[in-house]
Amino acid sequence: MSDQSNKPPLRLIVQIPALNESETIASVIADIPRQIAGVGSVEVLIIDDGSTDDTVLVALRAGANHVVRHTSNKGLATAYQTGIDTALRLGADIIVNTDADNQYPGSEIARLVEPIVSGRADIVVGDRQVQTIEHFSALKRVLQHLGSSVVRWASETDVPDTVSGFRALSREAALRTFVTTDFSYTVENLIQAGKRRLTITAVPIRTNLVDRPSRLHRGNWNFIKRQAAIIARTYATYEPLKVFSYLAAIFFVPGALLLLRAAYVYIARNFGLEADNLQSLQLGSLLMVMALVTFLIGLLADRVGGVRRVQEEILYRVRSMQVEDDAWRRGVTLRLDQIERDLREDPVVGPES
């Protein structure tokens, strides 16, 4: 057995994407525990996604350790990926993502990271137990349940709350997943992780009431439409042959039936049946050709997928080398420290504490 006591202490970074969250960011940071069993240090990273208020200054005064800033609003998915990349380069062994609107209590972080600390999981998703949240409408509960069911099927995982943004990732999981959409990271990363056979688990958590409307989407149907597009695109990326085979079957089945009818009529003519099989023959042939072309596209897409898997492995190795670059890490920390120092010294930015 290996000596666990010789392992270096784990470094946990809690990343918080934020856009104009000056009213809640301080309470979110204050609620984050700085001592967790099995973890050597806990640090807070703020991803400022183009805020126009005092979010960054308030966060630094509240105890944030690091800040990275977008010059303009890039969206939640990009902010999340910026946080992951920065946390890795800062040396994180575990990364926790939480919201700046105080939906997820910081007291739940210890329970969230425990499966990773104990080596039982690569990714842990906080299950909000949507069916028990009183301020969610009945329609929203039903939609959340149906949507999560589809994502579980597509990702081959067993996560109850697939769109929960409260999640923890091991260093390996963070290196293996990458956001390519511009809307939300939750579904895409879950499907990626499932297809890459990472160990994913969920822990039930409680949530705080958030009164203001979501800044991510414009209502339930807008959210469903955009998430459905992400599910379809991501699933097709990882299962192209299966997807195009399903599409080919749509043409193949009626085409085969029509050709069978045409063959039946042709044979029956020899026994005196008077019937025309030309339309069945023409339409059936057309559908069979469409099925064949669709299937061939699937084969090509599958081969492209093989190239993509090689590219993902190259990306993984490049990112691994980058995060091991201590000189780069020291440079980033210096630049972040400079940002913090400039913000503290600038009397124009925000009210005086």
181 and 90 co-located in one domain? yes
Does residue 220 sit in the same domain as residue 289?
no
**Sign of torsion over alpha carbons 249, 254, 259, 264:** positive
Query: Does residue 328 surpass a pLDDT of 60?
Result: no
C-alpha–C-alpha distance, residues 249 and 102, integer Å: 47
The better pLDDT of the pair 268, 73 is held by 73
315 with 184, same domain? Answer: no
Q: Which two tokens stand for residue 308?
A: 């993509």
CA distance 61 to 74: 25
Q: Return all residues near 280 (Cβ < 8 A) that are at least 6 apart.
A: 258, 259, 261, 262, 265
Q: Which amino acid, one-letter code, is at 238? A: Y
Q: Is 132 helix (H, G, I), strand (E, B) or coil?
A: helix
pLDDT exceeds cutoff 90 at 294: no
Asked if 171 and 253 sit in the same domain, the reply is: no
Give the residue-averaged pLDDT of 42-55: 93
Average pLDDT over residues 27-38: 94
pLDDT category at 1 given cuts 50, 70, 90 is very low
Residue 194 lies in a domain: yes
| Total count of domains within the chain | 2
Q: What is the mean pLDDT of residues 228-235?
A: 84
**CA nearest neighbour of 63 among 108, 86, 31:** 31
Which of 237, 265, 285 corresponds to the end of one domain? 237
For residues 154 and 23, state if they share a domain: yes
Phi, then psi, of 275 in degrees rounded to 5: -155, 155
Find tokens 């409408």 and name the residue. 137
Instruction: Supply the mean pLDDT for the chain.
Output: 83
Is the same domain home to 94 and 142? yes
Q: Which residue range is the domain that position 122 belongs to?
A: 6-237
Highest mean pLDDT pick, 162-176, 238-252, 268-282, 301-315:
162-176
- Whether residue 352 lies inside any domain: the answer is no
Q: Is residue 348 part of a domain?
A: no
Pair 64, 132 in one domain: yes
Of 107-116, 120-129, 261-270, 273-282, least confident by mean pLDDT is 273-282
Q: Grade residue 58 by pLDDT with cuts at 50, 70 and 90.
A: very high
Asked if residue 252 belongs to a domain, the reply is: yes
Domain-embedded: residue 333: no
The pLDDT confidence band at residue 141, using thresholds 50, 70 and 90, is confident
Residues 98-119 have pLDDT tens digits of 999 889 999 999 999 999 999 9
Pairing of strands 200-204, 123-127: parallel
Domain co-membership, 128 together with 205: yes
| Same domain, residue pair 230 and 259 | no
Where is 127: in which H helix or E strand?
strand 123-127
Query: How many of the other CB atoms lie within 10 Å of CB of 293?
Result: 13
Q: How far apart are the first and last CA of the chain?
A: 53
Q: Of the candidates 219, 237, 255, which is a domain's last residue?
A: 237
Check whether residue 259 and residue 232 sit in a common domain: no
At 283, list the tokens.
């339409």
Cα distance between residue 177 and residue 173, in whole Å: 6
User: Is there a domain that residue 328 lies in?
Assistant: no
What's the pLDDT band for 237 if we cut at 50, 70, 90? Answer: confident
How many angstroms separate the CA atoms of 126 and 119, rounded?
17
Mean pLDDT of 226-255: 86
Tokens of 79: 């902010």
Section 150-163 average pLDDT: 90
Paired strand residues for 13:
43, 95
H or E stretch covering 321: helix 278-323
Q: What is the CATH number of the domain that holds 85?
A: 3.90.550.10
In a domain, 31, yes or no: yes
**Contact (CB, 8 A) for 38 and 119:** no
Among 237, 252, 280, residue at a domain's last position: 237
13-22, 87-96, 209-218, 296-305: range with lowest mean pLDDT: 209-218
Are 150 and 219 members of one domain? yes
3-state per-residue secondary structure call for 239-286: CHHHHHHHHHHHHHHHHHHHHHHHHHHHHHHCCCCCCCCHHHHHHHHH
Please report whether residue 40 resides in a domain: yes
Cβ neighbours for 249, distance < 8 A, ≥ 6 positions apart: 291
> Domain check: are 107 and 244 in the same one?
no
Distance CA 199, CA 191 (A): 12
Say yes or no to pLDDT of 282 above 50.
yes
